[in-house]
Structure 1
Amino acid sequence: MTDQVAIIGVGCRPFGRYQDTSVRQEAVRAVRMALDDAGLSWPDIDYAVGGSMSGGSADTLVSELGLTGVPFVNVFNGCATGSSSLISAVHTIASGAAEFAVVVGFDSHPRGAFTIDPLAMGLGEWYGTTGLALTSQFFALKIQRYLHEHDLPERLLAKVAAKAFRNGSLNPNAWRQKPLSEADIDASMMLSDPLRQFMLCSPGDGAAALVLCNAKRAKEFSPHPVYVAGSAVRTRRPGSFEVLSPSLSVRRGVSPTVDAARAAFEMAGIAPSDVDIAQVQDTDAGAEIIHLAETGLCADGEQAHLIESGETELTGRLPVNTDGGCLANGEPIGASGLRQIHENVQQLRGHAGARQVPNRPKVALAHVYGAPGLSATTILTR
């Protein structure tokens, strides 16, 4: 896949909770921002794809963007909606079926925990009535087990969260722009031991969009094109311990993140050691710790050194979640994965402002994970 498809335009609206606008309006604005960034207009687009969990059907945005007859595909793949939409556009352009494509993701979620239909997840109604569908409990159990098995200190959770809020304070699109210290985070309410209030992200509103084209023409439209070197989505296999999984198998298996990351690196012909910057799913602070290893960026148990030595900070060897991640931005499901891509594109271009990492990164990783055990990884290069 390397160098076949390029990202030539990006647009991202502020994340948070919209009061004076709607998520549809913000999705349209994100698309127009991406088109302006690419120097194109809506009639130039040959293919469009996008998704949302609760913000409406993405294809209906043509009412505002223009009735051009463009093929528009709706995608919903949980937290991997944005990445799955990107993959659809990449394959369409690489096949020669389109020259220019728009990818858009948006969502609007109310306060409180996400609601789910256990039957729609292949589970019995008992799974919800007994309280097992409260995902914060799953995340807490998963990180408890992981910290124990790999002899990692619980203090890493506050360090990860504090980094997220520091980075978010430098991001004008972030919802949470107030830095919080480790002491602030440790003093917040315990929700699901060991996860405290500021160690969990919030549902919210947001919108992001990309413009893609055939890589052969990329420099006609952008002086700094970014190439999609590899992108893959995978579902769970037997023995993996996943959100909304009703039991724990006696046989251990790898997470879908492991499979998705391996596939993306293989497509790209790039090793995890080549990655200069990474955005990984941090629905909770523990998730960032786990996903650092599952994506191959470190070995299990090495996270304490990475985090406590400052290597995952903006100035470190491997900056992680440089825009504040889900912890600072919230998680509007349809937009979250594209927010990561937007951040990586800005970092690779050298346009990330106050949060720009040093030494102009060349390889960036984006990773998302969600229910009921599904993951996607995308490798970008410049």
Structure 2
Amino acid sequence: MTQGVSIIGTGLSAFGRQPGVTGRQMAVTAIAAALADAGLTWPDVQVAFGGSDSSGLADTLVAELGFTGIPFTNVKNGCATGGSALFAAVNAVRSGAADVALAVGFDKHPRGAFDPTPGEWGLSDGYGEAGLMVTTQFFGAKINRYMRLHGISATTLAKIAEKAYHNGSLNPNAWRREPMTIEQIATAPMVNDPLTRFMFCSPGEGGAAIIVANESTVRRLGARAVRLRAITHRTRRFGSFEVFSPSVQGTGEPTSVSADAAAAAFEQAGIGPDDIDVAQLQDTESGAEIMHMAECGFCAHGDQEAMIAAGVTEIGGRLPVNTDGGCLANGEPIGASGLRQVHEIVTQLRGSAGARQVPGTPRNGFTHVYGAPGISACTVLSVG
């Protein structure tokens, strides 16, 4: 179990297109909100970690925040950037190097699909010339195989997106705040079979920040702390089926970095998937949420069809998933997404989620982020 580390402050900027607002400004907005939530000021932060894919270096934010001289390390780990920054911040507190640490993620992506360069991922130019750097092709291929193996229907893909846009309509920070029907989603133009336009998230804009502290600081501040029971971070093993590594090697099923990270998180936390009251799962597209439900241990492969039909993952269901609308409704500002997930779970466990609040008294939450070319970070959070 992760001993003695709690989240004491969270903050977000708005997500979605924000003309005239830079990614750096979104980061500063999120940090200011997190500091206010924690009852702290910038000089109270003793170490920071942060990252962005396309909006600059996080350490340079000190120009706006204040020149306090603290260590500030840049993190870049694909869609797992935010989760990786938090992993580093937590370990700084666990080690005794700091009493208070910050993790921040932010991005402002242009319109259109991501355009990664093969060489930056250790791949030959031929890989890109064959069109394999287009991530939507990977997502389509992976969910197509999964649907055939486990009996998942195209209707279920549309239901995932319908839930996301409904939840986004209840979230004042979300980008996509208009509900959509299953028919609208299912009949939208096809991008990569079987995924239509509205089953994908879009590269977006936003910032998110999390402040963590040790037990003595929590007691001193009397903060509304959420205990970080576990945080894990894994890279892919041989045989994985990942972005920019889309092949099945050997004779068995592909390994899963998400399954590795989630299993390690539950072992560290001392509780299991059945104990989780609300979860955030990476949903770069509808199929990802479905696959990650099983990979993170919340069901057996193939059980998702019946679970989703029964409303299990709705806000009022037994296991609410992506209550803030996930990446589908918020977009994917790469640096911010993992920390947005943690912000949402903290908000839910505090009972402060307003119209999207999970009923009852949720006590345990889980987050999972997945990034190219096979990186995953997970947390288990608790109150009470």
* Same-fold call, TM cutoff 0.5: yes
> Which TM bucket (shorter chain)?
over 0.9
| Partner Cα distance (1:220, 1:322) in 2 | 32
The code of the aligned residue for 2:315 comes to L
Aligned equivalents of 2:172 and 2:72: distance in 1? 30
1:194 aligns with 2:224: no
- What is the CA distance between 1:219 and its match in structure 2? 4.2
Distance in 1 between residues matched to 2:278 and 2:267, nearest whole Å: 18
What whole-Å deviation, never above 9, does each CA across 1:75-129 have from its counterpart, x for those lacking one?
Answer: 1111111111101011110111100111110011111110111112111111111
Residues 279 and 365 of structure 1 are in contact (CA less than 8 Å); yes or no, is this contact kept in structure 2? yes
Q: What SS does structure 1 have at the residue aligned with 2:107?
A: strand
Partner deviation per Cα, 1:57-92 (whole Å, 9 max, x = no partner): 000000000000011111111111111110101111
Equivalent residue runs for 1:266-281 within 5 Å: 266-281=267-282
User: What amino acid is aligned across from residue 306 of structure 2 in structure 1?
Assistant: H
In structure 2, the partner of 1:144 is 144
1:201 Cα shift? 0.3
Identify unmatched segments of 5+ residues in structure 2: none
Secondary structure in 2 aligned to 1:379?
A: strand
Normalised by the length of structure 2, the TM-score is 0.97
Paired residue for 2:381? 380
Q: Is the 8 A contact 2:99 2:217 kept in 1?
A: no
Residues 30/222 of structure 1: CA separation in 2 closer, same or farther (3 Å cut): farther
One-letter amino acid matched to 2:85: S
- The Cα of 1:246 is off from its aligned counterpart by 5.2
1:376 Cα deviation from its structure 2 partner: 1.2
Matching of residue 295 in structure 1 with residue 296 in structure 2? yes
**Amino acid in the other structure paired with 1:150:** H
Query: Counterparts of 1:222 and 1:253 in 2: how far apart (Å)?
Result: 46
What's 1:76 paired with? 76
What is the aligned partner in structure 1 of residue 97 from structure 2? 97
Contact 2:38 2:223 in 1 (8 A): no
**Ranges in structure 1 where 5+ consecutive residues have no aligned partner:** none
The CA distance in 2 between the partners of 1:222 and 1:9, in whole Å, is 12
Q: Given the superposition, is the C-alpha separation of residues 222 and 80 from structure 1 closer, same or farther in structure 2, using an over 3 Å criterion? A: farther
Task: Check whether the contact 1:237–1:253 (CA below 8 A) recurs between aligned residues.
Answer: no
**Distance (whole Å) between structure 2 residues aligned to residue 347 and residue 222 of structure 1:** 19
Contact kept? 1:127, 1:246, Cα under 8 Å: no
Corresponding position of 2:370: 369
* CA distance in structure 1 between the partners assigned to 2:305 and 2:4 by the alignment: 38
The DSSP-based 3-state class of the residue aligned with 1:162 is helix
Kept after mapping to 1: 8 A contact 2:138/2:246:
no
**What SS class does the counterpart of residue 9 from structure 1 fall into?**
strand
Tell me if structure 1 keeps the 8 A contact 2:164–2:322: yes
Aligned to 1:202, the other structure's residue is in SS state coil
Please name the residue that 2:342 is paired with.
341
In 2: Cα distance, 1:217 partner to 1:25 partner: 28
**Conserved in 2, the CA contact under 8 Å of 1:337 and 1:368?**
yes
Return the offset for 1:253: 3.1
2:146 and 2:242 mapped to 1: Cα distance?
Answer: 13
Other structure's SS at 1:232 match: strand
Cα distance, 1:341–1:250 mapped onto 2, change above 3 Å? same
